[in-house]
Amino acid sequence: MKIECVVPSHSKVGEGAVWDDRAQCLWWVDIPAGLIHRYDPVTRENITQDFAEPVGCIAVRDAGGLVVAARSGFWLFDPETGKRHHLADPEAQLPQNRFNDGATDLQGRFWAGTMKDGGVPEPQGRFYCLDTDRTVHPWKDGIYTTNGLAFSPDGRQMYFSDSNPKVRRIWRCPYDPQTGTPGEPQEFFDTRSVAGRPDGGTVDAEGCYWMAGVSGWQLYRLSPEGEVLQIIDMPVEKPTKPMFGGRELDTLFVTSIGIDLAEGSDQPDAGGLFAITGLGIKGLPQPRYAG
């Protein structure tokens, strides 16, 4: 196994990694800087665009371009032309909130969650589904830091987490692919048993859940039963989002945070994008937003 910093970007909050299997590139963001990155692992070129406001997460659209969950809600964005189209701001009444983590279900619905941005943390985050007809449906509220959204290989289980130190748990719930409706959440994994708190997540081809252990210097591979199968020590304190990519979907890309680090810690690549090879594990093609 090899861990390499492929983009030493020193991002404030690198996040939102999603693999584009058609363009063979990795899209990712720097949340507070409002930057959207496009990394080509063949040429190693990383192209950056300024979205002009904090960007929590993105997904590739089936019709081309991206769907973006930003501070002011959901947008369609064409990276080629820079054209933006605002869809909805479901939390216009909460100016302190912004979108954070997201994922697309197998039917092309885009799920994303919000959180309070700055100040004393409060449980005012909520999950939303941007349906394929571009309507927005709220779901579970009372979350400090919405995170960890991912779906099982058959699309019938949805994962999510709350990263706040008071909570630091991952849940799983049954998911109806036809209606896009989650069932009752059940606790999947309590991260107080490991060093890192739950940040972004993804699911591999074997149905195992990968969690970035923010503030714990580690990644975790969890079985569908919630057992720790593998721990990977990272060269940075705050890994944030794992995502499988590459032509064979066997490279694990990991974003990271470059600010508010432990005093005196040696992590010159904090905030960079990492690539892990030699795992012997493959990921799943990422669904595209169908709206």
Any catalytic annotation for residue 199? yes
Contact indicator for 253, 274 with CB cutoff of 8 Å: yes
Contact indicator for 185, 171 with CB cutoff of 8 Å: yes
Contact indicator for 120, 114 with CB cutoff of 8 Å: no
> Residue 97 annotated as binding?
no
Question: Among residues 105, 199, 204, 250, which one is catalytic?
Answer: 199
> Residue 84 annotated as binding?
no
> Residue 156 annotated as binding?
no
- Residue-by-residue DSSP string for 202-262: EEBTTSPEEEEEETTTEEEEE-TTS-EEEEEE-SSS-EEEEEEESTTS-EEEEEEB-SSPP
Q: Which residue has the tokens 């975790």?
A: 220
How far apart, in whole angstroms, are the C-alpha atoms of residue 49 and residue 38?
A: 9
> Residue 164 annotated as binding?
no
Contact indicator for 3, 274 with CB cutoff of 8 Å: yes
Helices (H) and strands (E) in the chain, counts: 0, 25
Contact indicator for 113, 103 with CB cutoff of 8 Å: no
What DSSP state is assigned to residue 61?
Answer: B
How far apart, in whole angstroms, are the C-alpha atoms of residue 170 and residue 173?
A: 10
> Residue 98 annotated as binding?
yes
Helix (H, G, I), strand (E, B) or coil at 191: helix
Cross-strand bridge partners of residue 7? 273
Residues of each annotated binding site for substrate: 98, 100
Residues of each annotated binding site for a divalent metal cation: 15, 147, 199
Task: Report, as residue numbers or ranges, the catalytic residues.
Answer: 199
